[in-house]
Amino acid sequence: MNHNHAEHQRILVVLPHPDDESFVASGTLSMYIASGAEVTYACLTLGEMGRNMGIPPFANRVTLPAIRKDELAASCLAIGIQDLRMLGFHDKMIEFEDEDLLDSQIMQLLKELTPSLVITFYPGYSVHPDHDATGAAVIRTIDRLPAAERPLVYCSAFASNREQMIGKADVTIDVTEFLANKMASIQAHRTQFQAAELVGNQDLTEEEMRRRFGTEQFWTYRFVESS
């Protein structure tokens, strides 16, 4: 897919955990920001219920929220995100939150920022209950806007059955040019990235970095038109 990097000048990212932005969209965001885009990242929680505490562990349940707040700010700096909003919801509890409260905060951001592109998780295909609930809240809220006012929505999905259920991603972005930003964003999350399923604690070769982190994929959400 051919990308005109200047096509989106105002982007809203809505994800639940510090470090979701790193793995989902840090390369794509760096690319748009290099072309002059303004990015707002609404991060719903501080990831305070995370299990990774650094290797060896240097954080605990009590100290984790403040540590992850700093990591999040450092990650945004690495990507170039100009506007970080921490919405203050409790980690792991998004699916149990008051939907009206959640939706009204997202609606407020949409009205204030009028983004042309929103990035979030694909509801139902994003593994972590917080991911699915965040994506669902974003889609529900945007669905309430008149069709002409709806921004484009790119969803990230990584459930094993995603292609079987929703087909192949329709947006594939080569972010190799912005790999340095992406790796810096990932590594800003010092309590997290050494986990084996994320980066691990070995230094990666250039080739491994490209292979594992060189592209970002999204599914454009198709809203069903109601009459």
Partner 1 sequence: MQPILPEDIQFQIDQLANQELYVHLELTTGAYASHLDSTRHPASAFISNAVIRYTQGSISGTGPYRVGLKTTLGWIYAEGLTHIDEMDKDRLILAGHDSQGKLIVALQLSRDKF
**Residues engaged in binding partner 1 (CB under 8 A):** 49-63, 92, 127-130, 159-160, 194-197
Burial of 157: CB neighbours in 10 Å, binned 0-12, 13-18, 19+: buried
Nearest to 224 by CA among 121, 139, 116, 104: 139
Q: Are 170 and 220 in contact (CB under 8 A)?
A: yes
128/150 with CB nearer partner 1: 128
Residue 14: phi and psi, rounded to 5, are -125, 110
Going by C-alpha positions, the residue among 187, 199, 182, 218 that lies closest to residue 33 is 182
Residues 6+ apart with CB under 8 A from 200: 194
Residue 121 pairs with which residues in a beta bridge? 156
CB 128 to partner 1: min, Å: 5
- CA 187 from chain centre, in angstroms, equals 16
Min CB(51)–partner 1 separation in Å: 4
Q: What is the CA radius of gyration of the chain?
A: 17
Task: Determine the Cα–Cα distance for residues 82 and 33; give it in Å rounded to an integer.
Answer: 9
Minimum gap (Å) between residue 89 Cβ and partner 1 = 15
User: Which lies closer to partner 1 via its Cβ, residue 30 or residue 192?
Assistant: 192
> For residues 112 and 163, which CB has a smaller minimum distance to partner 1 in the complex?
163
Q: Where are the beta strands (DSSP E) in the chain?
A: 10-15, 38-43, 83-86, 117-121, 152-156, 171-174, 215-220
The minimum distance between CB 67 and partner 1, in angstroms, equals 12
In whole angstroms, the minimum distance from the beta carbon of 163 to partner 1 comes to 15
Q: Could you tell me the smallest distance in angstroms from the CB atom of residue 78 to partner 1?
A: 24
